[in-house]
C-alpha cells in the first residue's frame, strides 16, 4: 500500500513539474505500474486487502488449539494458563510453527467468542416499584474558589431509570442513611428491594455465593 503523500507527489511531479514516467520511477523509487495506476485513477488512496489469509503452519493445528483455548477459558481465572504456556503445550504435541501464528489465532478466537457472548446477552427488566440501585461516585467541584472532591450518592429506580443524587463531604454510614431518607422522600416512597455493591458501610465481609456479613446498623436501616 502506497502512502497518500507518495500518491500526491507522483501526480504533482508528473502534471506540474512535467517529469517523465522513467524519471518518476527512478527518483521516487516506485514501480512503473504503480505510477500508471496513480495517474489513470482519481483515487486518493490505494490499499490492498487479502481475501484469504493462508496459515500453512497453524492450519492443521486449529482444532487442537481451539480445544486448548476453550479448556483454558473454562478454568477459574487464577488457574488459567498464559498464552505462551498454551503455545508450549501445542509444541509438545508436534506443532512446528511460531508463537506469532498462535497469538493471531488466539486473538481472532477471543473476538469471535466475545461476539457470540454479546449476541446471547439478555437485558434486565424490572417491574415498576420492584427495585432501586444505590452507589457512590467521586466528583470534583469548585466551592468558594477551591477545588474539592466530594462523594455523590446515587439512587436510581430500575424501571423508569429516574435518579436522585446528593453530594456529601464523606462516604460515612450516616451519609448513607441520610441519602436514603432524602431519596425516598423525593420519590415519595421506596421499592420492594434495593441493589447494592459491596460497599464497606453496608458489608463487612463477603463469603461464597450471596452470603454476606452486614454491618450491624445497615440491616436496621433496611428494617426501618
The vertex-57 CA angle with 56 and 62, nearest 5°, equals: 100
* pLDDT the model gives residue 35: 85
Q: What is the pTM of this model?
A: 0.46
Residues 6+ apart with CB under 8 A from 99: 84, 87
* pLDDT the model gives residue 46: 65
Cα separation, 19 vs 11, whole angstroms: 10
Cα separation, 215 vs 198, whole angstroms: 11
Query: Which residues of the chain are under the pLDDT cut of 70?
Result: 1-5, 44-57, 114-123
* All structural domains of the chain with their residue ranges: 4-40, 59-119, 131-223
CA distances from 207 to 198, 203, 221 (A): 11, 11, 22
* pLDDT the model gives residue 32: 87
Q: Are 131 and 195 in contact (CB under 8 A)?
A: yes
Q: Are 187 and 164 in contact (CB under 8 A)?
A: yes
Q: Are 165 and 153 in contact (CB under 8 A)?
A: yes
Residues 6+ apart with CB under 8 A from 222: 194
Query: pLDDT for 169-184, tens place per residue?
Result: 988 889 999 999 999 9
Amino acid at each position: 500500500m502506497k502512502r497518500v503523500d507518495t500518491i500526491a507527489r507522483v501526480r504533482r511531479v508528473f502534471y506540474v513539474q512535467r517529469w517523465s514516467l522513467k524519471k518518476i520511477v527512478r527518483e521516487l523509487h516506485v514501480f512503473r505500474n504503480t505510477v500508471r495506476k496513480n495517474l489513470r485513477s482519481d483515487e486518493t488512496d490505494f490499499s490492498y486487502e487479502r481475501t484469504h489469509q493462508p496459515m500453512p503452519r497453524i492450519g492443521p493445528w486449529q482444532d487442537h488449539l481451539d480445544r486448548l483455548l476453550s479448556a483454558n477459558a473454562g478454568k477459574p481465572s487464577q488457574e488459567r494458563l498464559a498464552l505462551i504456556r498454551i503455545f508450549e503445550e501445542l509444541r509438545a504435541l508436534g506443532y512446528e510453527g511460531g508463537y506469532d501464528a498462535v497469538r493471531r489465532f488466539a486473538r481472532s478466537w477471543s473476538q469471535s467468542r466475545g461476539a457470540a457472548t454479546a449476541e446471547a446477552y439478555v437485558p434486565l427488566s424490572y417491574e415498576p416499584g420492584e427495585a432501586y440501585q444505590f452507589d457512590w461516585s467521586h466528583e470534583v467541584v469548585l466551592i468558594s474558589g477551591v477545588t474539592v472532591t466530594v462523594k455523590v450518592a446515587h439512587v436510581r429506580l430500575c424501571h423508569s431509570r429516574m435518579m436522585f443524587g446528593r453530594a456529601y463531604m464523606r462516604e460515612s454510614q450516616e451519609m448513607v442513611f441520610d441519602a436514603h431518607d432524602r431519596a425516598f422522600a423525593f420519590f415519595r416512597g421506596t421499592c420492594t428491594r434495593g441493589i447494592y455493591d459491596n460497599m464497606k458501610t453496608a458489608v463487612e465481609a463477603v463469603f461464597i455465593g450471596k452470603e454476606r456479613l452486614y454491618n450491624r446498623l445497615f440491616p436496621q436501616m433496611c428494617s426501618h
